């Protein structure tokens, strides 16, 4: 990761029933985009698809999943917005099955 720069690492709590906590790391890529890595998240409940397409995640096979979002954010502020929105949508998906 020497050619990339970590710009933030944080928890984001979604106030749902039950509450859910996510941990993200934002890493600036060599092309200037910011990749939003998902370091920790609640497990998907039984019966919910957990594949990359259904959950909007890339990199599942590498052990370092990150949020599937196009275009990739180019600023810290936009990356925070993407991660927070993804966490809220994921929490809703876990409860309702709808993104």
Mean pLDDT, residues 69-82: 96
Strand, coil or helix: 42: coil
The answer on pLDDT for 2 being more than 60 is no
pLDDT in tens, 12-46: 999 988 899 999 999 999 999 999 999 999 999 99
The answer on pLDDT for 76 being more than 90 is yes
Please, which pLDDT band fits residue 1 given cuts at 50, 70 and 90? very low
Range of the domain at 57: 5-96
pTM value is 0.92
Number of domains into which the chain is organized:
1
Q: Residues near 77 by Cβ (< 8 Å), separated by ≥ 6? A: none
Exposure of 22 in the CB half-sphere (CA atoms within 13 A):
25
How far is 22 from 6, CA to CA, in rounded Å?
17
How far is 21 from 36, CA to CA, in rounded Å?
16
Please, which pLDDT band fits residue 53 given cuts at 50, 70 and 90? very high
């Amino acid at each position: 990761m020497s050619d990339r720069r970590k710009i933030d690492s944080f928890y984001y709590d979604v106030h749902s029933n039950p509450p859910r906590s996510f941990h993200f790391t934002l890493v600036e890529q060599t092309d200037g985009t910011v990749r939003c890595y998902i370091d920790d998240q609640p497990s998907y409940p039984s019966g919910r698809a957990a594949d990359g397409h259904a959950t909007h995640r890339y990199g599942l096979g590498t052990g370092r999943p990150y949020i599937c979002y196009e275009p990739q954010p180019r600023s810290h502020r936009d990356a925070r917005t993407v991660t927070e929105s993804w966490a809220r949508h994921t929490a809703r998906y876990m409860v309702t099955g709808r993104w």
